[in-house]
Amino acid sequence: MAQALDRHPVPIDYDRRRRLFSPDSVHFDHIAYQALCRRHGWRMQAPVQIKRLHWHLARLLLGADPGAASRTPAGHLAFHYRLHPDLHELLRDQAAANLRAHGIDEPVTWDPPPDWITDPVLPPGPETIKRSQLAQHAADGPEPAELGRLLGLDDARLLLAIETFGTTAPQPRQQRPPAPGRRTPRQGALAPQSLQRLYQEQKLLQHQIAELAGCSINTVRQALDEAGIQIRTRRPVGHLEKTISRAWLEKEYPHKGRSSPDIARELGVGKNDVMRLVNKWGIPRHPTSQFTNPFASLDTELSPAMHAVSRTKNCVQRLRHLTVTSRHSTLQDAADELSVTWSTLKYQLKRIEETAGFTIIDIRRSRPLTITEDGRRFLDEAMHLLSLLDNRAA
């Protein structure tokens, strides 16, 4: 296949797509997804399912599993196997929208002609089975592993067959609605005594209790109702404007680069209340190409280089990788500890150095790796900031 791709023109520039798209960088239209869920009467998917949809959207654009730095989500084959056709169509539309947003005029997917490959010893694939055969075996809703065994296909070729013929798994049976009333008492933060202490005595907001309990706000409201606790009336209009000033919000949001959820948690309000005030006061919003600063709430002065790096994608993870790399003599040793490839570390180091404006670790002329003078100051600052983040989380 590699030789065939060298000989023939290909309508898709996958190298460009690998530079542009990843599960974290693709744009997924949540409003369109919510409309689809309402149309079919589906429950909104949990965050882990949304993450899977992002991963499948990136996979559709890249023509393969996202790069080495990503990890394949658990159960992705079963998730893809039972994906509704309308959701398949939504993902294709979203893939086309991502391409248009970058001015790319290419088909979403492309299949090489069969005559490019003439090797007669290829393992069996979708071409060896019929759509009716796949549908017949899938009618009883077996798990993917069982279906693959019945058809004599491994996971990769079963996934290819599913993509070739479309979704064939039957829709799961609707679960019987639960009996009225709860059979299991609420526990933890949602227990009646805990709710009384958190909501009535400590005056926590519903979204703050939801974060403590690891559930949705609707679940908190239901637990409050079950405990007979009256929900507080909303704060009067204009309350937030009397609490903070325009100068303070301007300093925290655009200058420091804090996110609206981070500011909202500090003020005890919802992020929409913060953004409503940002729009009302005409405060510039974060550019779409710029990421929020994860160190902004630490009240620590950042060096110009660190301030620039803090507004880049995945900066905390990349800084953690950088500090680990600085302890090793080769990139490969650091990659082994982090369970990533050495090329991933090299790419991340290059991006950080380009943003910082100087070399941090010299990997071109020296063995073992050598930290520069500017790099040592930058690494000391990074380790200090990461330590503050970890302590605050603890």
Tens digit of each residue's pLDDT (9 = 90 or more) over 316-359:
888 999 999 998 888 888 888 888 888 889 999 999 999 999 99
Residue 174 lies in a domain: no
> Is 200 in the same domain as 246?
no
Closest CA to 168 of 177, 178, 176, 158: 158
- Residue 225 makes CB contacts below 8 A (sequence gap 6+) with none
Residue 106 lies in a domain: no
DSSP helix/strand/coil, 362: strand
Residue 172 lies in a domain: no
Residue 182 lies in a domain: no
| Number of independent structural domains in the chain | 5
Q: How far apart are CA 111 and CA 11, in angstroms?
A: 10
Q: How far is CA 220 from the centre of its chain?
A: 25
> Is 89 in the same domain as 127?
no
> Is 84 in the same domain as 127?
no
Q: What is the largest CA-CA distance in the chain?
A: 76
> Is 21 in the same domain as 87?
yes
Least confident of 41-50, 123-132, 237-246, 316-325: 123-132
pLDDT (0 to 100) of residue 69: 45
pLDDT (0 to 100) of residue 173: 46
What stretch of H or E contains 361?
strand 361-362
Residue 175: band (very low, low, confident or very high) from pLDDT cuts 50, 70, 90: very low
> Is 12 in the same domain as 91?
yes
> Is 29 in the same domain as 86?
yes
Residue 112 lies in a domain: no
Residue 323 structure tokens: 């500090």
> Is 13 in the same domain as 88?
yes
Q: How far apart are CA 229 and CA 203, in angstroms?
A: 13
pLDDT in tens, 192-208: 888 888 888 887 878 77
- Residue 259 makes CB contacts below 8 A (sequence gap 6+) with 286, 292
pLDDT (0 to 100) of residue 360: 92
DSSP helix/strand/coil, 371: strand
Asked if the model's pLDDT at residue 308 lies above 80, the reply is: yes
> Is 89 in the same domain as 17?
yes
pLDDT (0 to 100) of residue 179: 47
pTM exceeding the 0.85 threshold for the entire prediction: no
Closest CA to 392 of 293, 259, 298: 298
Rg of the chain taking only CA atoms, in angstroms: 26
Asked if the model's pLDDT at residue 219 lies above 80, the reply is: yes
- Calculate mean pLDDT across residues 299-312: 86
Q: How far apart are CA 137 and CA 148, in angstroms?
A: 10
> Is 364 in the same domain as 384?
yes
Residue 181 lies in a domain: no
pLDDT in tens, 104-158: 898 888 777 777 766 555 555 556 667 677 777 777 767 777 777 777 777 777 7
Q: What is the mean pLDDT of the chain?
A: 79
Asked if the model's pLDDT at residue 178 lies above 50, the reply is: no
Residue 190 structure tokens: 């949602």
The pLDDT > 70 percentage for the chain reads 80
Q: How far is CA 150 from the centre of its chain?
A: 34
> Is 249 in the same domain as 283?
yes
> DSSP code of 190?
G
- Residue 290 makes CB contacts below 8 A (sequence gap 6+) with 257, 311
Q: How far apart are CA 387 and CA 394, in angstroms?
A: 10
Residue 179 lies in a domain: no
Closest CA to 161 of 142, 139, 141, 133: 133
One-letter amino acid of 57: L
Asked if the model's pLDDT at residue 379 lies above 90, the reply is: yes
> DSSP code of 250?
H
pLDDT greater at residue 168 or residue 272: 272
Residue 233 lies in a domain: no
pLDDT (0 to 100) of residue 243: 80
pLDDT greater at residue 386 or residue 67: 386
Peptide bond before residue 192 is cis, with ω within 30 degrees of 0? no
Q: Tell me the residue range of the domain where 222 lies.
A: 188-226
**In 257-288, which positions are buried (b, 16+ CB within 10 angstroms) versus exposed (e)?**
bbbbebbbbeeebbeebbbebbeeeebeebee
- Among 249, 268, 292, the domain-final residue is 292
pLDDT (0 to 100) of residue 203: 78
Closest CA to 6 of 111, 116, 108: 116
